[in-house]
Amino acid sequence: MNGISNTGTSVGFSIENNGDLLNFTANPLKSTSAKVLNINGSTTAMALGVNSAGTVVGTDGNGNAFYLSHGVVTTFIPPGGSSAVALGINDEGTIVGQYTTSTAMPGFIRVNSKTYITINAPSGPDIVFAQSINNRGLVVGFYVGTDGQDHGFIANERAAKNGVLTGIPIPDPSIPSVPGEPGATFMFSQVLSVNSKGIAVGYYGDSTTSQHGFIYNTNTGKYTFLDDPSEAFDNGVEVTQITGITNSGEITGFYSDANGVFHGFVATAP
């Protein structure tokens, strides 16, 4: 489960027995059935974001970003790029993601078919994942820092000059003590979604290689840590990632069980 719209529709993919990816949308409050997505027949495509109009974005598995609207798939790569992936879309239809150039892998904002904004890293190599944009133009994501680890950033579409933005680092969390992980230390964090109230979600990784979800308030700088209660250790590792949040505070993501199997979830944030 990779994202959720403000109408409560989640988007994601499952891995079939033969290794193919099956993309879908689902709204568990309205139906127990998922809707399978056809992304140009690709078995390696990944659906990564969705907005209130039902437009889905992601990668077609062949190096192109895409958006799927009313059954029609449109692929694109920002100017100057050789490949791209779309990671999020807001209710205005503005898309964010990452693209590859000859020298870097910056983030992008696709305002429309003719206007793009490049998002550069605050520091370190220029590797940026622009994951989400809210309806007010606030972008969140993560970048690779000088330490080689991922760290969160924010940026505002309206602050772009000459089609370029530089991300502002989000302070790394001071991680809590987690039962079963004595002495664990912070390693990296990824901020994956933000709503129009400035509430973001994501996860951090620690020195045990476990991953734990968080909610981050961009207005106050406060972290709240949250794991799926069904999360369990498998060979000493447990995983919760919170990948999306709506304006009403509904969240989505996935967790691992005692057999190392991943399951999606939808929940109401505390």
Q: What is the pLDDT of residues 225-249, one digit of tens each?
A: 999 999 999 999 999 999 999 999 9
Same domain, 175 and 253: yes
- Domain end residue (candidates: 11, 42, 76): 76
pTM over 0.85: yes
Same domain, 189 and 253: yes
Structure tokens at 143: 């970048």
A 10 A CB-CB count for 1 gives: 24
Residue 28's pLDDT is what?
A: 81
Return d(Cα 108, Cα 256) in angstroms, integer.
31
Residue 193 in this model has a pLDDT that exceeds 90 = yes
Same domain, 184 and 261: yes
> Which amino acid does the sequence have at 116?
Y
Q: 44 lies in a domain?
A: yes
Give 18's contacts (C-beta < 8 A, 6+ positions apart): none
Structure tokens at 153: 């950033």
A 10 A CB-CB count for 179 gives: 6
Q: For residue 98, what are the CA distances in angstroms to 20, 85, 104, 192?
A: 23, 6, 10, 13
Same domain, 177 and 266: yes
Residue 23 in this model has a pLDDT that exceeds 80 = yes
Same domain, 243 and 210: yes
- Domain end residue (candidates: 168, 194, 228): 168
Cα dihedral sign, 228-60-200-174: positive
Same domain, 54 and 98: no
Residue 224's pLDDT is what?
A: 98
Same domain, 153 and 222: no
- Domain end residue (candidates: 76, 100, 125): 76
Residue 31's pLDDT is what?
A: 81
Q: 81 lies in a domain?
A: no
Same domain, 181 and 155: no
% of the chain with per-residue pLDDT over 90: 97
Return d(Cα 193, Cα 207) in angstroms, integer.
24
Structure tokens at 193: 């979604």
Same domain, 261 and 178: yes
Query: Tens digit of pLDDT for each residue in 57-110?
Result: 999 999 999 999 999 999 999 999 999 999 999 999 999 999 999 999 999 999
- Enclosing domain of residue 224: 171-270
User: For 250-268, what is the mean pLDDT?
Assistant: 96
Same domain, 265 and 178: yes
Domain total in the chain: 3
Choice between 261 and 32, residue whose per-residue pLDDT is larger: 261
Residue 30's pLDDT is what?
A: 83
CATH of the domain at 20: 2.40.10.500
Same domain, 200 and 142: no
User: For 20-47, what is the mean pLDDT?
Assistant: 94
Same domain, 94 and 162: yes
Return d(Cα 12, Cα 255) in angstroms, integer.
14
User: For 141-156, what is the mean pLDDT?
Assistant: 98
